Amino acid sequence: MKVVRSVAAMSRLAAAWKNCVVLVPTMGALHEGHLSLIDRARRAAGREGTVVVSIFVNPLQFGPKEDLSRYPRPLRRDLALCRERGVDLVFHPDADEMYAPGRSVTVDESLLTGGLCGRSRPGHFSGVCTVVAKLFNLVRPHAAVFGQKDYQQLAIIRRMVRDLNFPLEIIGSETVRESDGLALSSRNVYLTPAERAEAPVIRRALLLAGKRVRAGERDAGILRGVIEKELAAAPLGRVDYAEVVDAETLQPVARVERPTLLAVAAYFGRTRLIDNLVVSLK
């Protein structure tokens, strides 16, 4: 497995590749969720293809009060996991390598970023779009794999690829969960034992609302109330948002009449967790 640190070296390698290349962008601190993305990338690339994993803690997507300095960076472990999973190349640049001094160009999306995490974390998705666009230009993949846990991010990246005509496929991969339903996240390590015990309430709240949809409930306000009531049963949790939005446009809906996203963000201590569930009438 090759490890590349420089932008110039990554660009030279990408220009010479002739086979199918699939990229998995990450910020490191890899867990089974990330490894499932790598496995999905290998299936897409085939035995003769090239799987590239980027490990880059992107400063542009952290707000001034967020946990950039605390974000875990277990590089040796991450590289060992990538090697075990059959990754062909890890791109691991420094921030100074990725961003030129005095940089003045960013990539912004103006519709899908307005609500959910975009409202709670202003500037976050501009940072995501900017770094992902740079990775696409440097690695030149035929496809890239993103997890569905970060549903809004996945929708925004799909829109960026469509609107800017990036010549690649975006592959969404299922959320990987602990046995009690908690979505895997690099931030889960920050939870205290008591917070970790309560955190699965997020998944329970979403499933309860989804059950109400299957039983015939269509009113978004009632579904939002179901979610909020269940979340309130966790005294250590603090709800950032509980939303019912269109699964494609991410705009709020009054009624469930087509594929709809139930989305939650909640704090347990200083740790912000997100999860979602897509419901439909079928």
Spatial neighbors of 106 by CB under 8 A, at least 6 apart, are 60, 126, 127, 129, 130
Tell me: do 147 and 270 sit in the same domain: no
Residue 153 DSSP one-character state: H
- Tell me, yes or no, whether 180 lies in a domain: no
pLDDT tens sequence across 175-232: 999 999 999 999 999 999 999 999 999 999 999 999 999 999 999 999 999 999 999 9
65 band by pLDDT with thresholds 50, 70 and 90: confident
pLDDT at 111: 96
Tell me: do 153 and 94 sit in the same domain: yes
Tell me: do 218 and 272 sit in the same domain: yes
> Among residues 34, 92, 124, 142, which one is catalytic?
34
Tell me: do 122 and 254 sit in the same domain: no
pLDDT tens sequence across 32-48: 999 999 999 999 999 99
8 A C-beta contact, residue 127 and residue 118: no
- Tell me, yes or no, whether 178 lies in a domain: no
- Tell me, yes or no, whether 181 lies in a domain: no
- Tell me, yes or no, whether 179 lies in a domain: no
Cα dist from 213 to 181, 224, 250, 252, 254, whole Å: 20, 11, 18, 16, 13
| Domain span holding position 84 | 2-173
Burial of residue 93, with CB atoms counted within 10 A of its CB: 0-12 exposed, 13-18 middle, 19 or more buried: buried
Tell me: do 147 and 208 sit in the same domain: no
Last residue of a domain, one of 133, 152, 173: 173
Q: 251: domain CATH number?
A: 3.30.1300.10
Is 124 considered catalytic here? no
- Tell me, yes or no, whether 158 lies in a domain: yes
- Tell me, yes or no, whether 270 lies in a domain: yes
Q: How many domains does the chain have?
A: 2
Helix/strand/coil for 228: helix
Tell me: do 84 and 41 sit in the same domain: yes
Residue 188 DSSP one-character state: G
This prediction has a pTM of 0.95
**Rounded mean pLDDT of 266-276?**
96
